[in-house]
Structure 1
């Protein structure tokens, strides 16, 4: 600590105000301590570091792999996307307290790793073994959140939905694999991700239904590839993960994935799915009889009809699937007049009508829009700048950013369960994590004084984080135990016979 070092300026609108620099330990990212506490309770980064192969000489390193990973992931979780931000955060007292493994007051005595050191971290994380460890940690972190015993101890949810989609990450430069994509009309990478969601509703207000929501698998692809390239191999890994954490699950697919090979694979694996099917002349002819408007004045809100079209099997499909037509005929919001022709779309699914009606399939599919909002949140609040020249190094950076998104979403979901409502991830960062504070040494302890406006939020967060306890890991979701019936001995009491 120290006194003010000098006056920066005196604003003319109020001469009684003076702006000065100071050596006092002031932070603008006090929420790093909350990230570390949740990380400590669930063992997130320590589990990742245990799978990483560190090629450095142990006798010549200053920063352990765990500390380097903490610094990079916490910075992304706090909204610092640029690698240059690490040089500024290396002096932040809250980041030092959250990152270092050193005991007592030593956490404040030395700065964190610089940006060049973090660049070398990306370099040796790009090996095939370390890259696979990063990818598998997406699922592992979601699984650990589900295993937290604050929700009863059993980590297997009854019903879940997996959303699969691709999205663009714009690049500026000569990055390997970055290329022009005609659909997005920009030079991009085209990654593919899978997101886990309890009961298929990211915005559910029921306690525990947001537990574990997050990305469970991802891969970076070149910019010009088609949406469905590599999706069959991708889905096999996703299904393998989903079977470990959910008793039953289904997939929600975009129109780019509803192709014959993918749907046949899912049907062979007995995996339920629903998705939008692209229009074609054959489908248009099936829809034509249902597009005529009924006579009379239309209702104020227009029409929306959901029609069962029966089983449909295109050429090259091994299995026939259930086809649903959705006709949306809504008035223009400005003129109040109906459009010249109604809009319509097709849904394809293997859900039987006895288990899910056409209206239920449509309602379930529409909840996929919240998943697309999550992708937007990732790009806005966490999304990294993939500025490395090598493709594999950019994939490492993307996976670290997805891990940071999962960590921040865990805290956001716990916060929403406690207070209710839905918080945008950027708002959660600014209101809860990016809190101002001051670190003071007193009585051989380090005291972090945070601004009063976040006191209530932090009280809620610390209570929720304190409830997180990691349950024992089971090889498969637990269910009812089945045992062979053994007849009791002839001399057994009647109560024993009835009990068995």
Structure 2
């Protein structure tokens, strides 16, 4: 097919169709099968197609779409190429033996029709409920059936730029672009996404129009997200950004009996309360700078129905390049319903700063899965967003297991390139199909499969097996058919 000029001994030709570069789809299917993710989700979806005309089952279409997203194929046009991929065929099909190797997967139009069917309200509710359910199943499997003691729910909107005349897309003055403005909630153990405890991911999401305010629909969203997350942790708290801090949202969290911390925007009243603490003491300042937290007591804004505790955070650090300080120290305010004896001022600051790991997860989602939405309706775009978040949760399960096994952090993009995008050759025998994986990825695969094999299963541990009894022959005078009937 091609002979490079720099070395005439090299001959390039088209690969054997039994060679794949996406062998990681089999890992995704193994996680999916052990937790029963797509099978249970597909059973809850409504399908209005005529049964006699169905070639691809809903669960197979769902797997093909989710696995492609988890592998890094963000565009629907990639489905035509992936329809011939031998590893994806083995992972998607439910057909026994080698039958799946010689049949094509669904094409791009079939995948587009799947998104259109998922756009109905019932199917979108099922997709939204699956977010928290998948995180809970992974947590139970990896944690031997136990939930974490302390969990944190991060709630934040983020922009998704749209192109053309997308339904619901609007210009946002702050971001200066035409976009959607979805609201997502993510769960983590102890508020740290870099912690070794497994069972993290997105638990709730809604798609909003581009000109929505940060807190639009946040009250109902918060209540639903808390209901989804209570089964994940014994003690739950919430972290929110300044855009979501208003009286109705804070009261909704407080009424649920959940602690929260959020950043509150500066105003004249708060600046007057902080003024005595913003003056530098006389003398030469410390070379390394200073940062501290000050309790300002209770504060109630004009629109709030109840007062909450406010903490002033002062940061007076020199510039890392010039060593010079600003004319005035930088400061901001945190609002919380934690009591001082429960969580001190600086402890509250450190807990809120871990929110940066959640923003890193949003960056990984945009880079590894992709946030492009190009469906024909607003509802279909929301269904597409929910599928992308489900794919992120699925790939995140493998990333979490790999981090726990190796003891170091793994970016999701690196997991895709190193573990999931692995080369392999499929060899058919009389009754078996052998997949020869590249040696470079085989070592990591062994670690992952060993950990997956140790997952706790509720059906195996929660039910008691029947006790084996010694067989006793019936008496000679008994009628054998009556004995067998009993």
Pick the TM interval, shorter chain: over 0.9
Residue 252 of structure 2 is aligned to residue 265 of structure 1: yes
Residue 159 of structure 2 is aligned to residue 168 of structure 1: yes
Which residues in structure 2 correspond to 1:247-266 (within 5 Å)?
A: 247-266=234-253
TM-score scaled by length of structure 2: 0.93
Shift in Å at residue 261 of structure 1? Answer: 1.3
Which residues in structure 2 correspond to 1:334-353 (within 5 Å)?
A: 334-353=321-340
| 8 Å CA contact retained: 1:331, 1:339 | yes
| SS in structure 2 of the partner of residue 97 of structure 1 | helix
CA change 1:445–1:472 in 2 (3 A) is closer
CA–CA distance in structure 2, aligned partners of residues 356 and 471 of structure 1: 36
| 8 Å CA contact retained: 1:42, 1:468 | no
CA–CA distance in structure 1, aligned partners of residues 79 and 271 of structure 2: 55
CA–CA distance in structure 1, aligned partners of residues 246 and 305 of structure 2: 11
Aligned match of 1:190 in 149, 168, 181? Answer: 181
| SS in structure 2 of the partner of residue 161 of structure 1 | strand
Alignment match, 1:102: 95
| 8 Å CA contact retained: 1:291, 1:327 | yes
Which residues in structure 2 correspond to 1:393-408 (within 5 Å)?
A: 393-408=380-395
| 8 Å CA contact retained: 1:144, 1:470 | no
CA–CA distance in structure 1, aligned partners of residues 74 and 242 of structure 2: 31
* Residue range with higher mean Cα deviation, 261-270 or 131-140: 261-270
Aligned match of 1:67 in 31, 55, 60? Answer: 60
CA-to-aligned-CA distance 1:324-346 (integer Å, 9 cap, x gap) = 00011111122111111111000
Shift in Å at residue 212 of structure 1? Answer: 1.4
Aligned match of 2:195 in 197, 200, 204? Answer: 204
Which residues in structure 2 correspond to 1:276-315 (within 5 Å)?
A: 276-315=263-302
Residue 262 of structure 2 is aligned to residue 275 of structure 1: yes
CA-to-aligned-CA distance 1:162-191 (integer Å, 9 cap, x gap) = 000000111111110011111111111100
Shift in Å at residue 317 of structure 1? Answer: 1.6
Alignment match, 1:456: 443
CA–CA distance in structure 2, aligned partners of residues 242 and 82 of structure 1: 31
| 8 Å CA contact retained: 2:72, 2:368 | yes
CA change 1:458–1:125 in 2 (3 A) is same
The answer for unaligned runs of 5 or more in structure 1 is 1-7, 474-500
CA–CA distance in structure 1, aligned partners of residues 288 and 8 of structure 2: 59
Alignment match, 1:476: none
CA–CA distance in structure 1, aligned partners of residues 151 and 313 of structure 2: 25
Shift in Å at residue 385 of structure 1? Answer: 2.1
CA–CA distance in structure 1, aligned partners of residues 134 and 425 of structure 2: 31
Shift in Å at residue 443 of structure 1? Answer: 4.1
Shift in Å at residue 204 of structure 1? Answer: 1.1
CA change 1:22–1:383 in 2 (3 A) is closer
CA–CA distance in structure 2, aligned partners of residues 22 and 42 of structure 1: 34
* Residue range with higher mean Cα deviation, 317-326 or 60-69: 317-326
CA-to-aligned-CA distance 1:381-429 (integer Å, 9 cap, x gap) = 0124211121001111100000000000011001101101111110111
Which residues in structure 2 correspond to 1:129-140 (within 5 Å)?
A: 129-140=122-133
Alignment match, 1:430: 417
| 8 Å CA contact retained: 2:187, 2:201 | yes
CA change 1:391–1:123 in 2 (3 A) is same
CA–CA distance in structure 2, aligned partners of residues 397 and 354 of structure 1: 45
Shift in Å at residue 246 of structure 1? Answer: 1.8
Aligned match of 2:81 in 83, 88, 105? Answer: 88
Aligned match of 1:418 in 402, 405, 430? Answer: 405
Alignment match, 2:143: 151
Shift in Å at residue 245 of structure 1? Answer: 2.5
CA-to-aligned-CA distance 1:201-226 (integer Å, 9 cap, x gap) = 11013xxx1x2100000000000100
| SS in structure 2 of the partner of residue 118 of structure 1 | helix
| 8 Å CA contact retained: 1:87, 1:115 | yes
Alignment match, 2:200: 213
Residue 218 of structure 2 is aligned to residue 231 of structure 1: yes
CA–CA distance in structure 1, aligned partners of residues 456 and 39 of structure 2: 15
Which residues in structure 2 correspond to 1:115-134 (within 5 Å)?
A: 115-134=108-127
Root-mean-square deviation (Å) = 1.2
CA–CA distance in structure 1, aligned partners of residues 94 and 459 of structure 2: 25
CA–CA distance in structure 1, aligned partners of residues 456 and 121 of structure 2: 32
Shift in Å at residue 471 of structure 1? Answer: 2.1
Aligned length: 460
CA-to-aligned-CA distance 1:126-168 (integer Å, 9 cap, x gap) = 11111111111101111111221x42322x3211000000001
Alignment match, 1:49: 42
Residue 362 of structure 2 is aligned to residue 354 of structure 1: no
| SS in structure 2 of the partner of residue 237 of structure 1 | helix
